[in-house]
Amino acid sequence: MNCVLEWTDQFSIRPALLCLGMALAFVHAGALRAAIPMGPLSLADGRRIATERNWDLLAAAAGVDAAIAQKIVAREFPNPTLAASSTMINVDRHPSATDEGNRLWERNYDTVFAINQLFEIGGKWRSRQASAEAGFEQARARFLDARRTLDLGIAKAYIAAVLAARNASVLTNSAASLREEAQLAEVRFKAGEISESDRSQIEIMAARFEQDAHAAETAAAQTRIALEVLLGEPHPKGQIVLTDQLEKLSSIPTLSDESASPAGRPDILAAEAALRKAEADLRLQKANRVPDPTLLAQYEHQPPDTPNTVGLGVSLPLPLWNHNRGNILASEAAREQARLALEKIQTQAAADLAGARISYEDARKRWKNYRDAIQPNSEKVRNTVAYAYQKGGASLVDLLIAERGDNEVRLAAAQAAADTANAIAGLEAATSDARHLSTKK
């Protein structure tokens, strides 16, 4: 699905609402809750699936539905009131007949049909529409912010699952390497070249790495389960297959200009819309001090003297005791709260962006250092010590230290790559623009 959602003014709202309705219908299709195919899944695929199935996003979409309904309500004109009454009906057996006859319509009953229509004045209808429009923009921005947050959550869960799988792989490889060393140590022990203590230490270290690898595999399954929950899988089992590797996820992106600001972030737009809504609500409460007239038109039938007459009238409340002061003060307080909330969110967004840039630069440097220098050198040292041990030129202690050190370096390198990938996702979230999110597939 590729639907561009645009809201410009009240005259273009119909096509925009139709487009949003199509988008929400597409999102609500996730409520069918079919199981997610357990085939290969990339990060991009995960974000797309979560957009269609995630429960929190579906709830945010329902909030947009409610805001659209409020827009419809705000545009509706008050319904007229129809009243019908019949009085002067005799109950003491006095005749009700007239010279015209004794049929129901000819009797001297006083029958009145009246219609009343309320008219809002003082800009109330306009303020109510402005409030509903701002509420719709707020709900839409919250929906897009929920999507922004979900994209970040999916990225972090996906990266955590990939990192856990990498850790399990590193520990499994370390255990396999030490198991090979243990087999060689068995041969050397039988030849009398090493002691039984040396052979036992290698076997113990290999068994320990194997246990750590099993624990890492369990942790990897748990992270996949957490990812499946975010994807909206009704029966998460941790069986999803991930295709993106840490090297791809931590690739250096094209970063935005340093002068870029998060002004277009949906959470800021939602706070701005909330402030506009509070201002419109305040105008409405002030306008409520002006009484709204109700016009009356009636037809009266009372034979024989006044068989058919009409009447016109107007009524309105007198603002003698209640000037709506309490509601006005409450609306002023709500507006001030909305203003402060906007300032807080703007500050937090700027802090998010600054922190994301710092985190990205630090993580990128660490990952580059591990990838280009530390990990290759650690592997070289391990291979050298292992070869020397096999030839009798290195002690068991040297071998175990090299194995342990190389294992730790590989785990740290994987963590640095994951930190970089998370920093990239955080930077994307900090600079997400509502217009970009609204046109995403």
Q: How confident is the model at residue 391 (pLDDT cuts 50, 70, 90)?
A: confident
Q: What pLDDT score was predicted for residue 199?
A: 75
pLDDT per position as a tens digit, 291-307: 999 999 999 998 888 88
The pLDDT of residue 156 is 94
Highest mean pLDDT: which range of 1-15, 192-206, 409-423: 409-423
Per-residue pLDDT at 51 exceeds 80: yes
Greater model confidence, 190 or 167: 167
Residue-wise pLDDT for 108-155, tens only, equals 889 999 999 999 999 999 999 999 999 999 999 999 999 999 999 999
- The predicted model gives 352-369 an average pLDDT of 92
Q: What CATH number has the domain spanning 10-78+123-288+327-438? A: 1.20.1600.10
Per-chain mean pLDDT for the chain: 85
Of the listed ranges 134-138, 234-238, 414-418, the least confidently predicted one is 234-238
Pair of tokens at residue 200: 């036992």
Give the whole-angstrom CA distance, residue 26 versus residue 136.
19
Q: What is the pLDDT of residue 31?
A: 44
Nearest Cα to 49, choosing from 37, 64, 61, 65? 37
| pLDDT of the residue at 25 | 46
The angle subtended at Cα 251 by Cα 250 and Cα 254, nearest 5°, is 120
Split at pLDDT 50, 70, 90, the class of 415 is very high
Q: Residue 173 burial by CB count (10 A; 0-12/13-18/19+): exposed, middle or buried?
A: middle
Taking residues 307-315, what's their average pLDDT? 93
pLDDT above 50 for 1? no
Domain residue ranges in the chain: 10-78+123-288+327-438, 79-118+290-323
| pLDDT at 382 > cutoff 50 | yes
Q: Say how many C-beta atoms besides its own lie within 10 A of residue 96's C-beta.
A: 15
User: Which candidate, 109, 112, 77, places its Cα nearest to that of 95?
Assistant: 109
In 3-state terms, what secondary structure has residue 298?
strand
Q: pLDDT tier at 174 (50, 70, 90 boundaries)?
A: confident
Q: Which CB contacts under 8 angstroms, 24+ apart, belong to 178-183? A: 178/202, 178/205, 178/206, 178/209, 178/403, 179/206, 179/210, 181/206, 181/386, 181/389, 181/399, 181/403, 182/206
Taking only Cα atoms into account, the Rg of the chain, rounded to an integer number of angstroms, comes to 37
* pLDDT surpasses 70 at 20: no
Q: For residue 27, is pLDDT > 50?
A: no
pTM of the model: 0.79
- With 70 as the cut, is the pLDDT of residue 13 above it? no
Higher pLDDT, 250 or 257: 250
Mean of pLDDT values over 187-201:
74
Flag the least confident range among 109-123, 197-211, 279-293: 197-211
- Tokens of residue 59, six digits: 């709830």
| Distance in angstroms between the alpha carbons of the first and the last residue of the chain | 6
Give the Cα-Cα-Cα angle 353, 356, 362 (nearest 5 degrees).
Answer: 145
pLDDT at 434: 66
Strands 81-87, 110-118: pairing is antiparallel
Higher pLDDT, 29 or 402: 402
Kindly state the tokens that stand for 368.
């580059």
Lowest mean pLDDT among 2-16, 147-161, 406-420: 2-16
pLDDT of residue 388: 87
Give the whole-number percent of the chain exceeding pLDDT 90.
Answer: 56
